A and B are shown apart, each in its own frame.
Chain A
Amino acid sequence: MDLARYILRRALLSAFVVMGVTFLVFVVAQVVPSDPAALYAGPRPNAEQIEKARVTLNLDAPLPERFARFAVSMATGDFGVSYKSRRLISQDLRVYLPATLELAVSSTLLALLIGIPAGVATAARQGSWGDRLGSLGSILAVAMPTFFFAMLLQMIFASWLGILPLSGRLSREISISDPLPFITGFNLIDAMLAGRPQVFVDALWHLILPALTLAAYPAGIAMRLTRSAMIDILSRRHITAARALGLPERRILYGHALRNAVGPALTMIGLSFAFALTGSVLVEIIFAWPGLGRYVSDSILSKDFPVIAAATLVVTVCYVLMNLVIDLTQAVVDPRVALK
């Protein structure tokens, strides 16, 4: 069947891309830097220590062999040891990845919840004041530098108004004196599993500002894409036909037209998600959010390449998988996609 073949082809392509991504990360993290052994050996190493590091890191082996080892260890979840902290990276990732995913998923949801209805509403009332206001908002959101927007939100909502926490994932009282058990790593879920509603609220409260920061840009894009897709679809003949059949305008808008715009909307999930993953590097340091982004940005200046490489790889694989799921969903929703 067409759909089955499409799924297979798409899955194979994703597998290839993951291989390519691994190779690229390997090259950038292990081949480009001038002397990984010196970095590994610690501060002010002597010649003997560097030599030992070269052996440990297997730097003298031929490149294909080094890549093969790298790929195998990445695939088995062995990301090596941080140059700086000497801790196992895989252990750190287990804590940091859920934190970042929690943020990325919530900001993606937020972006779509704002962007798509705004796009539909403005498309339905093209040229009205609401439409102009919405367009202005989307332009502002798209041009705003994420890191500066984060600081503005902090200033307004935390410092001036004092209604939202300045930073962190949980209030100090909770995280220090009465921490949540680590179950999934997603605070919202763990709080529910542990049956502690006040912690859930606290976690949600801390999530608002960083999620809003990361949602601004994709919400703006989502609004524009939805708006132009809806305007295009609303001018199609099957919409006129639906009107001529007397269908109520609401059902035409949400039942018929938006259904055609699902393709672009799904694409936007991928865009928002990628943006959130990317932006986490900037936003997490500002909001002191203990996630992958901060893990990476903390490692930049210390040239902790194993950490940067592992984080980049893990996040990218998440993104590739996400895109695969989106494409497959699209093929199921719109039966014409698989035929192309």
Chain B
Amino acid sequence: MSVLRRLGLGGSLGLAVILTFALLAVAAPLLAPYPGQGMGDPNVTAKLTPPSAEFWLGTDHLGRDLLSRVIYGTRVSMSAGLMIVAVSLLVGLPVGLLAGYFGGWVDEALMRVTDVFLAFPALLLAVLMAAALGPGLLNSIVAVSVTWWPWYARMARAEVLVLRGQPYVEAARLMGVSHPRILIRHILPGAARPLLVQAALDFGPALLTASALSFLGLGVLPPTADWGKMVDEGRKFFPDRWWVSTAPGVAIFLLALAFSVLGDALRGREGGKRDDPS
């Protein structure tokens, strides 16, 4: 309960929404009213029917139940957000550690590389990457991560610069402890914690960027359900058959909102500083 109190009303609501979506993702086959349609089976007898008792959120152009599609789409969206953040962290953290710890030309070289990556308006680089790699969930995750890791490299470097000057690190160095050992034993734990917090906060923006790529046709391949792609599919029937795009669009909005509210609660209501999401 004390956790909830610390998060406040907004933060607790955000957490609840996230947990609900996580549950939907894990238990999709059990919770979706039409699991087969959720996975892509067409249902041509019920094309584009508006929301009803039978289909709570209506059906799409292939007659598939949108509620089931949205529930199955949770899997893709959540895993895309998670993977983007994880991959970026795996690349950015070591780069930042090395740059910050060794300083000098290593630092100079690595930081100029991050400068180049950060010079792009992020989604454009991701689009270029995704187009080169071809569509597919994994490729789109790689494409977004390419624009994402430099942020973590920068952050990790800043943390290391602080930690490097700590007396216990200097002492370890003077006692002849090897570089890799100092990095892993003394610096990594301290530097990783704030990065992990930031990574958790970046979940929402990562999700938005991934769904934008998917909207552009660079995400998962049909017939897998994915929110961004579903919004795009509904565009042809918009706004007459508004529900086709609205159901997945609201889902993206809700989940991103939940992450953003939770993030605010976690870090005490400061402004975000990112320009990546879409």
CB distance from A305 to the nearest CB of B (A): 7
Q: A13-B115, A33-B132 are in contact. Are A145 and B124 (CB under 8 A)?
A: no
Instruction: Give which listed residue, B231, B270, B271, contacts A147 with CB less than 8 A.
Output: B231
Q: Which residues of B contact A299 (CB under 8 A)?
A: 131
- Decide: B112 and A139 in contact? CB cutoff 8 A: no
A308 to B122 CA separation, bound complex (whole angstroms): 14
A253 to B264 CA separation, bound complex (whole angstroms): 26
Q: Which residues of B contact A228 (CB under 8 A)?
A: 270-271
**Which residue, B117, B129, B260, B277, has most C-beta atoms of chain A within 10 A?**
B277
Q: A20-B112, A29-B128, A278-B122 are in contact. Are A145 and B249 (CB under 8 A)?
A: yes
Q: A24-B117, A148-B231, A278-B122 are in contact. Are A271 and B216 (CB under 8 A)?
A: no
A72 within 8 A of B: no
Instruction: Give which listed residue, A282, A303, A320, contacts B216 with CB less than 8 A.
Output: A282
Instruction: Give which listed residue, B235, B261, B275, contacts A278 with CB less than 8 A.
Output: B275
Residue of A nearest to B132 (CB): A32
- Decide: B124 and A17 in contact? CB cutoff 8 A: no
Number of interface residues of B (CB under 8 A): 53
Instruction: Give which listed residue, B131, B253, B270, contacts A145 with CB less than 8 A.
Output: B253
Interface members, chain A 281-332 (any B CB < 8 Å): 281-282, 286, 296-297, 299-301, 303, 305, 308-309, 311-312, 315-316, 319-320, 323
- Decide: A316 and B231 in contact? CB cutoff 8 A: no
Q: A21-B116, A278-B275, A319-B119 are in contact. Are A151 and B128 (CB under 8 A)?
A: no
B242 within 8 A of A: yes
Interface members, chain B 201-233 (any A CB < 8 Å): 204, 208, 211-212, 215-218, 228, 231-232
Instruction: Give which listed residue, B115, B127, B204, contacts A143 with CB less than 8 A.
Output: B204
Q: A139-B260, A145-B249, A145-B256 are in contact. Are A151 and B239 (CB under 8 A)?
A: yes
- Decide: A146 and B212 in contact? CB cutoff 8 A: yes
Q: A221-B271, A282-B212 are in contact. Are A20 and B116 (CB under 8 A)?
A: yes
Residue of A nearest to B231 (CB): A148
- Decide: B245 and A281 in contact? CB cutoff 8 A: no
A86 to B146 CA separation, bound complex (whole angstroms): 30
B102 within 8 A of A: no
- Decide: A147 and B215 in contact? CB cutoff 8 A: yes
B252 within 8 A of A: yes
B199 within 8 A of A: no
B125 within 8 A of A: yes
The digit string for B239-250, where 1 denotes a CB below 8 A from any CB of A, is 100100100011
CB distance from B276 to the nearest CB of A (A): 8
A183 within 8 A of B: no
- Decide: B212 and A147 in contact? CB cutoff 8 A: yes
Q: A25-B128, A228-B271 are in contact. Are A312 and B120 (CB under 8 A)?
A: yes
- Decide: B129 and A28 in contact? CB cutoff 8 A: yes
CB distance from A82 to the nearest CB of B (A): 14
- Decide: A145 and B211 in contact? CB cutoff 8 A: yes
Instruction: Give which listed residue, A143, A217, A279, contacts B253 with CB less than 8 A.
Output: A143
B56 within 8 A of A: no
Instruction: Give which listed residue, A29, A217, A282, A316, contacts B121 with CB less than 8 A.
Output: A316
A145 to B218 CA separation, bound complex (whole angstroms): 16
Interface members, chain A 106-155 (any B CB < 8 Å): 135, 139-140, 142-148, 151-152, 154-155
Pairs across A and B, CB under 8 Å, 29 listed: A17-B116, A18-B119, A20-B115, A29-B132, A32-B129, A139-B260, A144-B256, A145-B278, A146-B212, A147-B215, A148-B245, A151-B245, A154-B238, A154-B239, A224-B271, A225-B271, A227-B271, A228-B270, A228-B271, A278-B121, A281-B216, A282-B123, A296-B127, A297-B127, A297-B216, A299-B131, A312-B128, A319-B120, A323-B119
Q: Residues of B at under 8 Å CB distance from A?
A: 112-113, 115-117, 119-125, 127-133, 204, 208, 211-212, 215-218, 228, 231-232, 235, 238-239, 242, 245, 249-250, 252-253, 256-257, 259-261, 264, 269-273, 275, 277-278
Known A-B contacts: A20-B113, A28-B128, A143-B259. Give 15 more (CB < 8 A).
Answer: A20-B115, A21-B116, A21-B120, A25-B128, A29-B128, A33-B132, A135-B269, A147-B212, A152-B249, A217-B277, A278-B278, A300-B218, A308-B127, A316-B120, A319-B119
